Copies of this chain bind each other. A is one copy, B any other.
């Protein structure tokens, strides 16, 4: 029995009852002979309440102080969780991100972990304690200021600690039973995935699946830490994410892992761009300088008569305004006609390692969309993913159609079989 890292999200520790339920589960793991490190998020709505308070004193809170404020949330949940565990007769100690050795860069509100030095955690474990660590936070290497890791940061804390402590597994406890073949709110027949490779999980995360964030999976893959995503409300096995099937899951990798969708993006089309070298570079330099992450890019075929072309790209809606401003500012330098902004788009992605060896997948995907009457606006592919942009209104119908077409529905006898092995 080795060391396990468990991570509990805010919904699992939303109130005193939740904290006591989680404490019992942690103690069970300890009783089973494991050394246990627990990463915990802030209770339920705490973070939102703190953000609201900040808004009341300042319209643009300083990054450093905002991080100082938000980290109070985990401080509360971790201390309460340690108390609840001690009340069950087991030793526990809580640690801030800084005390746990989570060293980050200095980018407040979305810092990146650059090192983990868990000396105090190791000592606490060796003394027989369960170690409780504040998720989502760290301390900056240069200024020793408190930082936060941004959305989903507690998952990353858990994986980073698991890597630094050479854990057997990083268990991510949440309010769903695992990773599903599609969002169960959209596809009622979505199935829980028993095992998925890091690569497929990365593509799902990049394509809109919310269960695990891209950065966290990336970290786990780099250090080869198996992740077990499961519910803190049930005792069920969840989804294993790893290089090879591990734990109780002996399953083969499916040809298709799942269907993801994303309606959080917008599309900007730069109209009337001179079709000459350097134009696209100028456009995306302007956008990159504004620190905007773009997703898909498509350049239309140039109309021979005008020598002008259109370039479209997608980006998070939240950054739309900033991108438009940046491009307008560079308009004369770049020399385009106009900008079109469209936030009524959606993206549907099919993810699976089986695509590499099954050329029929792409054709079947387009056929399914076509049969459902869904019009395709942009296409982008990777080795193991194919994504299309459609009207936002079409997204749910498109996801269901694709899910059914690839035999992923839970009452299908089995998944669609291609000539290849799918591995």
Contacts and interface: CB of A to CB of B under 8 A. Distances in A.
A298 interface: no
B76 A50 contact: yes
Contacts of A20: 57
Contact of A71 (B50, B56, B75, B93): B75
A66 interface: yes
Contact of A69 (B50, B54, B58, B76): B76
B93 A64 contact: yes
Contacts of A23: 57
Interface residues of A, number: 39
Interface in A118-159: 120, 144
A72 interface: yes
Contact of A83 (B61, B76, B80, B92): B61
Given A75-B68, A75-B72, A80 B99 contact: no
Interface in A1-52: 16, 19-20, 23, 50
A59 B84 CA distance: 9
A16 B57 contact: yes
Copies in the complex: 2
A65 interface: yes
A370 interface: no
Contacts of A58: 83-84, 86-87
A107 to B, nearest CB: 17
Contacts of A239: none
Interface string A65-106: 110110111011011111110110000111000010000000
Nearest to A80: B57
Contacts of A66: 79, 83
Contacts of A50: 76
Contacts of A61: 83
A62 interface: yes
Contacts of A62: 82-83, 86
Contacts of A93: 64-65
A318 interface: no
Contacts of A72: 72-73, 75-76, 79
Contact of A54 (B59, B83, B94): B83
Contacts of A57: 16, 19-20, 23, 80-81, 83-84, 87
B53 A80 contact: yes
A79 B65 CA distance: 5
Contact of A144 (B56, B76, B99): B99
A69 B134 CA distance: 12
A211 B86 CA distance: 37
Contacts of A73: 72
Contacts of A144: 99, 120
Contacts of A60: 87
Contacts of A59: 87
Contacts of A16: 53, 56-57
Nearest to A17: B56
A259 B144 CA distance: 49
Contacts of A65: 79-80, 82-83, 86, 92-94
A73 B53 CA distance: 13
A56 B54 CA distance: 27
A69 B87 CA distance: 16
Nearest to A43: B53
A59 B62 CA distance: 38
12 contacts: A23-B57, A53-B76, A53-B80, A57-B80, A58-B83, A65-B93, A65-B94, A68-B82, A68-B94, A69-B76, A72-B79, A75-B75
Interface of A: 16, 19-20, 23, 50, 53-54, 56-62, 64-66, 68-69, 71-73, 75-76, 78-84, 86-87, 92-94, 99, 120, 144
The 10 A-B pairs with the shortest beta carbon distances in the complex, nearest first, are A16-B56, A69-B79, A68-B79, A58-B87, A72-B75, A58-B83, A57-B84, A72-B72, A65-B82, A65-B79
